[in-house]
C-alpha cells in the first residue's frame, strides 16, 4: 500500500516535470517531434532528486543525456495478479481463498473493468461482472436475480437458507414430488424440517429417531431400506446385507423359528426368500414339485405337511392330510 502510494507520487511529479520541461523546450525553439516520444530529447527525471536537475536544465538546456523514457514506458504491462489486488482488497481475497471454490480465478477474469464506479453516473451495475455472461440461467427463467441467493459472488456456493426458503420445488422437482405423492409422517416434517440450518445440509436420522430397529444400526443402513422422502416405501432388499435380527425386531415369531430350526432353511437369511418387503414366496418357486404327481394333486398346499416355512417342522404325515383339502 505505502510503496504503491509513494510510487504513484513520484510518477505524478515526474509527469508534471515532464510537462514543464516540454513548455521549456517549446520556448527554446526546438522542434517538437510529431510522435513526442524518444525523438524529443528531454530528460524525464526518474527520481525525486531529479527535480533539481530539471531546474538546472531550465537555465542551460543540456539535452544530451540518455532519455530514460524507454525504460519507463516500454516495459510489458501485465494485469495485476489476485495477490496484487489483495493489497487493497484483502477481505475479498481472503473470502476467495477460503471459500471461493471454483471462483478462485484471476480477479480480472470477472472484473474486466474496475475502478470505474462513479456515483454520479450511477454505473455500479454496469461495471460489475454479470453472472449470466458466463453461466447463462442455470436454474431457469424464474431465478434471474443471481445475487438474491448468491449474496457473495466471491463465495458462490454459500447460500442462506432464508433466500431459498419455500422455493425448493422450483429446483428439486423430484424429491418434492416424491414426498408429496407418498403418504408418510415425513410430509408433516417438510423440507426445511430436515434440511435445516443451511442449504444443502443432509440430516442424520438420529436427530429425530432415537434408534433404529436394532442397536448400533448406522444411518447408511437406514438409507439402504428407507428413502427419506418416502420412508414407508421400503426399497427392495435384493443385493443388500441385512441381519435377520433387523427383520426380527418386528417379526419375532419368524426370527425365533428360523433361528431354532435345524433344517436347511435355518441357514438362509430372511431376505434370501423375502427379496422385498411383504413378499411371500411360493415353495414351488424354489423347489418345484419334488413329490409324486399324485401327492401334489391330492395336497396342493405344501404347508399342509411342512407346516411352517421358517421352522419346517417335520411333516406330520398322519395329521396333515387328514385335515383335508
Ligand atoms: C468470468 C466468468 C464467470 C462469472 C462472471 C461468474 N462465474 Fe461462476 N463460475 C465460473 C467458472 C469458470 C466456474 C467453474 C465452472 C466449473 O468448473 O464447472 C464457476 C463456478 C460457479 C459456481 C460453482 C462453484 C463451485 O465451487 O463449484 C457457482 C455457484 C457460480 N459459479 C455462481 C456464479 C454467480 C452467482 C456469479 C455472479 C455473481 C458468477 N458465478 C459469475 C465463471 C464465472
Ligand atoms: C467469478 C467472478 C469474480 C471473481 C473471480 C472476482 N470477483 Fe469481485 N465481484 C464479482 C461480482 C459478480 C461482483 C458484483 C457484486 C455486486 O454487484 O454487488 C463483484 C464485486 C467486487 C467488488 C465490489 C463489491 C465489494 O464486495 O466490495 C470488489 C471490490 C471486488 N469484487 C474485488 C475483487 C477482487 C479483488 C478479486 C480477486 C481477488 C475479485 N473481485 C474476484 C465477481 C468476481
Ligand atoms: C492501490 C489499492 C488498490 C488496488 C491495488 C486495487 N484496488 Fe480496487 N479499489 C480500491 C479502492 C480504494 C476502491 C474504492 C473503495 C472500495 O470500494 O473499497 C476500489 C474499488 C474496487 C472495485 C469496486 C468499484 C469499482 O469502481 O470497480 C472493484 C471491482 C475493484 N476495486 C477491483 C479491483 C481489482 C480486480 C483489482 C486488481 C486487479 C484492484 N481492485 C486493485 C483500491 C485498490
Ligand atoms: C433462488 C435462489 C437462487 C437464485 C436466484 C440463483 N441461484 Fe444459483 N444456486 C442456488 C443454490 C441453492 C445452488 C446450490 C448451491 C450448492 O451447491 O449448495 C445454486 C447453484 C448454482 C451454480 C452451481 C450449479 C451446480 O450444479 O453446481 C451456479 C453456476 C449458479 N447457481 C449460478 C447462478 C446464476 C448465474 C444465477 C442467476 C442467473 C443464479 N445461480 C441464481 C440458488 C440460486
Ligand atoms: C435455485 C435453485 C435451488 C433452490 C431454490 C434450492 N436448491 Fe437445493 N440445490 C440446488 C443445486 C444446484 C444444488 C447442487 C446440486 C448438486 O450438487 O448436484 C442443490 C443441493 C441441495 C442439496 C444437497 C444435495 C446433495 O447431494 O448433497 C439439498 C439437500 C438441497 N439442495 C435441498 C434444498 C432444499 C430443502 C431447498 C429448499 C429449502 C432447496 N434445496 C432449494 C439448487 C437449489
Ligand atoms: C425426514 C427428513 C427429510 C425430509 C422431510 C426431506 N428430506 Fe431431502 N433428504 C433427506 C436425507 C436424509 C437425504 C439424503 C439421502 C441419501 O443420501 O440417500 C436427503 C436428500 C435430499 C436431496 C439430495 C438427493 C436427491 O434426492 O436429489 C435433495 C435435493 C433433497 N433431499 C431435497 C428435499 C426437498 C426439496 C424436500 C421437501 C420436499 C426434502 N428433501 C425433504 C431428508 C429429508
Ligand atoms: C427432522 C426430524 C426427522 C428426521 C431427520 C428423520 N425423521 Fe423419520 N420421522 C420423523 C417424525 C416426526 C416421524 C413421525 C413420528 C414417528 O414415527 O416418530 C417420522 C417417521 C418416520 C417413519 C415412519 C413413517 C410413517 O409414515 O409412519 C420412518 C420409516 C422414518 N421416519 C424413517 C426415517 C429415516 C430412515 C430417517 C433418516 C434418513 C429419518 N426418518 C429422519 C422425523 C424425522
Ligand atoms: C432392512 C431394512 C431396514 C433397515 C436397514 C431399516 N429399516 Fe426402518 N423399517 C423397515 C421396515 C420393513 C419397516 C416397516 C414398514 C411398514 O410398516 O410397512 C420399517 C419401519 C421403520 C419406522 C416406522 C416405525 C416403526 O418402528 O414401525 C421407522 C421410524 C424406521 N423404520 C426407522 C429406521 C431407522 C432410523 C433406520 C436406521 C437406523 C432403519 N429404519 C433401518 C426396514 C428397515
Ligand atoms: C419396523 C417393523 C418391521 C421391520 C423391521 C420389518 N417388517 Fe416386515 N412387516 C412389518 C409390518 C408392520 C408388516 C405388515 C404390514 C404390511 O403388510 O406392510 C410387515 C409385513 C411383512 C411381510 C408380509 C406379511 C404378510 O402377512 O403378508 C413379510 C414377508 C415381511 N414383513 C418380511 C420382513 C422381512 C424379511 C424383514 C427384514 C428384511 C422385515 N419384514 C422387516 C413390519 C416390519
Ligand atoms: C427362495 C427359495 C426357497 C423357498 C421359497 C423355499 N425354500 Fe425350501 N429350501 C431352500 C433351500 C436353498 C434349501 C436348502 C437346499 C439344500 O441345501 O440342499 C431348502 C430346503 C428345504 C427342505 C429340506 C430341509 C432339510 O433340512 O433338508 C424342505 C423340506 C423345504 N425346503 C421345504 C420348503 C417349503 C415347504 C417351502 C414353502 C413353504 C419352501 N421350502 C420354500 C429354498 C427355498
Ligand atoms: C427359506 C425361505 C424363507 C426364509 C429364510 C424366511 N422366510 Fe419368511 N416366509 C417364507 C415363505 C415361503 C412364506 C410364505 C408362507 C405362506 O405362504 O403362508 C413366509 C412368510 C413369512 C411371513 C408372513 C407370515 C404369515 O403368517 O403369513 C413373515 C412375516 C416372514 N415370512 C418373515 C420372515 C422373517 C422375519 C425371516 C427371517 C427371520 C424369514 N421370513 C425367513 C419363506 C422364508
Ligand atoms: C403329504 C404331505 C406333504 C406335502 C403336501 C408336501 N410334502 Fe414335502 N415332504 C413330505 C415328507 C414326509 C418329506 C420327507 C421329510 C423328511 O425327510 O424329513 C418331504 C420332503 C420335502 C423336501 C425335502 C426333499 C429332499 O429331497 O430333501 C422338500 C424340498 C419338500 N418336501 C418340498 C415340498 C414342496 C415344495 C411341497 C409343495 C409343492 C411339498 N413338499 C408338499 C411331505 C409333504
pLDDT of residue 61: 58
**Are 292 and 225 members of one domain?**
no
- Residue 163 included in any domain: no
Grid coordinates given for 314: 417335520
Write out residues with Cβ below 6 Å of ligand 2: 82, 85-86, 89, 92-93, 96, 103, 105, 107, 109-111, 128-129, 147, 153-154
Per-residue pLDDT tens over the stretch 244-297: 999 999 999 999 999 999 999 999 999 999 999 999 999 999 999 999 999 999
Rounded distance from Cα 303 to ligand 12 centre (Å)? 9
How far apart are the CA of 291 and the centre of ligand 12, in A?
7
pLDDT, position 11: 57
Q: What is the pLDDT of residue 245?
A: 96
Higher pLDDT residue, 193 or 14?
193
Question: Which residues form the domain of 19?
Answer: 2-31+40-73
User: Is 262 in the same domain as 311?
Assistant: no
Judge if 264 and 303 occupy the same domain. Answer: no
Instruction: Select from 264, 288, 302, 319 the residue to mutate for testing ligand 12; criterion: most ligand atoms less than 8 Å from CB.
Output: 302
Q: Is 228 in the pocket of ligand 11 (CB under 6 A)?
A: no
| Contact of 40 with 33, CB cutoff 8 Å | yes
Residue 86 in any domain: the answer is: no
Confidence of residue 49 (pLDDT cuts 50, 70, 90): very low
Q: Is residue 213 part of a domain?
A: yes
Residues 270 and 213 in one domain: yes
Question: How many domains, the chain?
Answer: 3
Same domain, 208 and 277: yes
Which of 55, 73, 91 is a domain's end point?
Answer: 73
Residues 287 and 250 in one domain: no
Q: Is the residue at 218 inside a domain?
A: yes
User: Which ligand is closest in space to the CA of residue 200?
Assistant: 5
| 274 belongs to a structural domain | yes
169 within domain boundaries: no
Mean pLDDT lowest among 45-49, 83-87, 91-95, 225-229: 45-49
**Domain membership flag for residue 52:** yes
What is the Cβ-side half-sphere exposure of residue 277, based on CA atoms within 13 angstroms?
15
Give tens-digit pLDDT for 63-103.
566 666 667 778 888 889 999 999 999 999 999 999 999 99
Which DSSP string corresponds to 190-259?
-HHHHS-SSTT----GGGT-S--SSTT--HHHHHHH-BTTBTTSPPP-TT----HHHHHTT-HHHHHHHH
In a domain, 83, yes or no: no
pTM of this structure: 0.84
- Both 268 and 288 in a single domain? no
Task: Please check the confidence at residue 126 and state whether its pLDDT lies above 50.
Answer: yes
* pLDDT one-digit tens code per residue, 153-184: 999 999 999 999 999 999 999 999 999 999 99
Amino acid at each position: 500500500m505505502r510503496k504503491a502510494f509513494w510510487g504513484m507520487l513520484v510518477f505524478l511529479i515526474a509527469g508534471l516535470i515532464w510537462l514543464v520541461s516540454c513548455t521549456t523546450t517549446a520556448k527554446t525553439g526546438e522542434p517538437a517531434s510529431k510522435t513526442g516520444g524518444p525523438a524529443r530529447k528531454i530528460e524525464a527525471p526518474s527520481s525525486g532528486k531529479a527535480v533539481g536537475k530539471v531546474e538546472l536544465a531550465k537555465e542551460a538546456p543540456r539535452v544530451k543525456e540518455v532519455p530514460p523514457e524507454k525504460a519507463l514506458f516500454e516495459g510489458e504491462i501485465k494485469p495485476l495478479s489476485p495477490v496484487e489486488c489483495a493489497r487493497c482488497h484483502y477481505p475479498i481475497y481472503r473470502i476467495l481463498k477460503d471459500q471461493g471454490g471454483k471462483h478462485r480465478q484471476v480477479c480480472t477474469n470477472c472484473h474486466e473493468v474496475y475502478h470505474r464506479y462513479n456515483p454520479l453516473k450511477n454505473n455500479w451495475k454496469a461495471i460489475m461482472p454479470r453472472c449470466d455472461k458466463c453461466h447463462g440461467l442455470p436454474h431457469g427463467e424464474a431465478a434471474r436475480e443471481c445475487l438474491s441467493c448468491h449474496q457473495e459472488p466471491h463465495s458462490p456456493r454459500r447460500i442462506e437458507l432464508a433466500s431459498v426458503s419455500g422455493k425448493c420445488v422450483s429446483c428439486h422437482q423430484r424429491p418434492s414430488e416424491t414426498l408429496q405423492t407418498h403418504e408418510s409422517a415425513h410430509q408433516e416434517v417438510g423440507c426445511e424440517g430436515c434440511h435445516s440450518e443451511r442449504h444443502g445440509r443432509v440430516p442424520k436420522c438420529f436427530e429425530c429417531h432415537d434408534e433404529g430397529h436394532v442397536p448400533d444400526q448406522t444411518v447408511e443402513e437406514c438409507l439402504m431400506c428407507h428413502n427419506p422422502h418416502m420412508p414407508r416405501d421400503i426399497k427392495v432388499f435384493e443385493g443388500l446385507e441385512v441381519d435377520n435380527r433387523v427383520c426380527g425386531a418386528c417379526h419375532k415369531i419368524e426370527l425365533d423359528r428360523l433361528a431354532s430350526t435345524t433344517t436347511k432353511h435355518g441357514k438362509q437369511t430372511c431376505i434370501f426368500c423375502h427379496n422385498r418387503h411383504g413378499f411371500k414366496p411360493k415353495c414351488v418357486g424354489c423347489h418345484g414339485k419334488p413329490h409324486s404327481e399324485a401327492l401334489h394333486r391330492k395336497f396342493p398346499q405344501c404347508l399342509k405337511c411342512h407346516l411352517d416355512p421358517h421352522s419346517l417342522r417335520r411333516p406330520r404325515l398322519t395329521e396333515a392330510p387328514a385335515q383335508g383339502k
